[in-house]
Amino acid sequence: MHNCSDGLVLFRARNNTLLHMRSTPLALEVSIPTAADTELLELFSAAPPKQRPIDVVTTADSANDCRHCGAARQLLTTLRLQPQSDASIMQLSDLLPRLDEYPVDTQADVLEHAVKLDPTDSTLLFTLGNMRMKQYTQLTADIFPGSQQTRHFAAVKHARSKWLSVLRRLDAIEEGRNSSHVQQSMGALLFNMGLYNQGSDRMQAALELQGLNLQTGESNRSLMESEHLDAKRCMAALDLSLAHEGRSVERAQLQQLGVNMGFWRRHDQRPPASTRPLFGCPFYDKARFRLVRSVEAAAVPMREEMMTLLRRRLVDFEEADRWYHDNERIARRPSQWLRRHVDCPLHSEAPDTPETCRAVRRAMSWYYASPHPGGEGAPVEAFYLRVQFSILAPGAHILPHVGPTNERLAISLGLAGVGHAKLRVGDTWKSWNPGEAILFDDSFEHEVVVGNECARAVAIIHLKHPELMPQGTHGARIAEDMAASCLGAPGPS
């Protein structure tokens, strides 16, 4: 048996400081037995049950009841059997202007046949590419982590292959080679397949087609407002791809280009979906965020509930479906990162994680409540009533990356194996203590390194940025003096 143990740990929830995690003690005392770290590693390493066989591959339209699609499907069958049938080609021509009436899968099949009949029509090929993209994005949006649909990732891979095939055909013609959208899409798909070098080259080509030059850090033209978000998303994906390749010089050039373009105000905080300037700080002092205490107070039951779910994952198909590996390729090796989301609706029971959800509801209820007796506060937003159990294998490395937006902060609560892991946000490294939380802004560049001894488990809870909280709430009160809570180099994002 792998010996993974930190010793019996008696810990206190403590205030954060910039240099270390042990400061003014609070009144909370709990204990986590040593067996937790050892069992966590065993459960992480064990294989879940093989998925039940699936008779029908999920498609983007599998749940749609298309009562008027019979004629289109019959036409497609005829075209497969008699591709040069004049009558069928005439029907196909009549059908194309009315494609919007049909589901995405049917539209894509019809367009595929139209392209075969006239391969020189670049407009049809671009339309097919857009439809294949729609298929892929619809599937990836529907099959979200924890939805019990993760076993249907084969359908996502199939849709990705279809889209990539069309993009390669577009890349073979001049219009496609000169399209930043085609190059960016190819780069994103190749990155998703783990082909980082090819993906980086395509994404860099996309930026150059938009007039952005990594070497000079300048733009050859002014981008339209609609192009800004695409460019920022491309730069975020390219940055992560370059991190996989260890190309630090190009990453520095890319980040400087983003600052020069005015996409971001600082090199270390580069969220793709940054929509407004907000106070930015890598780490925050927990003392003014009282909701963190209520999360820390539930550390032991949260750990126990997580372990129960992990045990169930080994024997239960439905539970195994709710756990997923790193499909964003943020980890050096995606198989080393295992996650599960838990939703905690305000007025619903959570039979699998009652204590976890009680802690989340209690924390958010305080954050949205009024600091004044008798005050009304504000309704808690459902998006923030959730928690993510995040487990990393021994030796895992979450590469330097940024979160999607600057409109939230992250609570990361150490549950097990945390003595062998450390977190960098901005320029500062910190380590977890069991049962203690780190409060940070994940729109800053951050990474995690885990030692070779143990798996690491934390619970992650996001909260709305205080400056965006409704007036008359504890969150808005904190926003009145954000600098007082900042542990690091503050500034607007």
Domain boundaries in the chain?
9-33+279-492, 70-260
CA–CA gap between residue 48 and residue 310 (Å, rounded): 9
Task: Tell me which H or E stretch contains 437.
Answer: strand 437-440
Give residue 8's pLDDT. Answer: 32
Give residue 469's pLDDT. Answer: 97
Q: Is the pLDDT of residue 40 over 50?
A: yes
The arithmetic mean of pLDDT across residues 236-261, rounded, is 94
* Average pLDDT score over the chain: 84
List the end-to-end C-alpha distance of the chain, in Å, as a whole number: 47
Give residue 21's pLDDT. Answer: 33
Q: Is the pLDDT of residue 2 over 60?
A: no
Residues 430-481 have pLDDT tens digits of: 999 999 999 999 999 999 999 998 999 999 999 999 999 999 999 999 999 9
- In sequence order, what are the residues at sequence separation of 6 or more whose Cβ sits closer than 8 angstroms to the Cβ of residue 144? none
Of 233, 255, 125, the C-alpha closest to 179 is 125
- Cα R_g (the chain), whole angstroms: 25
Concatenating the DSSP letter of every residue in 146-214 gives TSS-GGGHHHHHHHHHHHHHHHHHHHTSHHHHT-HHHHHHHHHHHHHTT-HHHHHHHHHHHHHHTTEET
**Both structure tokens of 23:** 């400061």
Give residue 142's pLDDT. Answer: 60
The arithmetic mean of pLDDT across residues 48-76, rounded, is 54
Residue 116 pLDDT level (bands cut at 50, 70, 90):
confident
CA–CA gap between residue 131 and residue 149 (Å, rounded): 22
DSSP alpha helix (H) spans, 314-424 = 317-322, 354-368
Residues 9-29 have pLDDT tens digits of: 333 333 333 333 333 333 333
Which class in CATH covers the domain with range 70-260?
mainly alpha
9-33+279-492 topology per CATH: Jelly Rolls (2.60.120)
Least confident piece of the model among 21-25, 81-85, 128-132, 266-270 = 21-25
Give residue 19's pLDDT. Answer: 32
Task: Tell me which H or E stretch contains 399.
Answer: strand 397-401
Residue 47 pLDDT level (bands cut at 50, 70, 90):
confident
Give residue 391's pLDDT. Answer: 97
pTM, entire model: 0.83
Q: Is the pLDDT of residue 145 over 60?
A: no
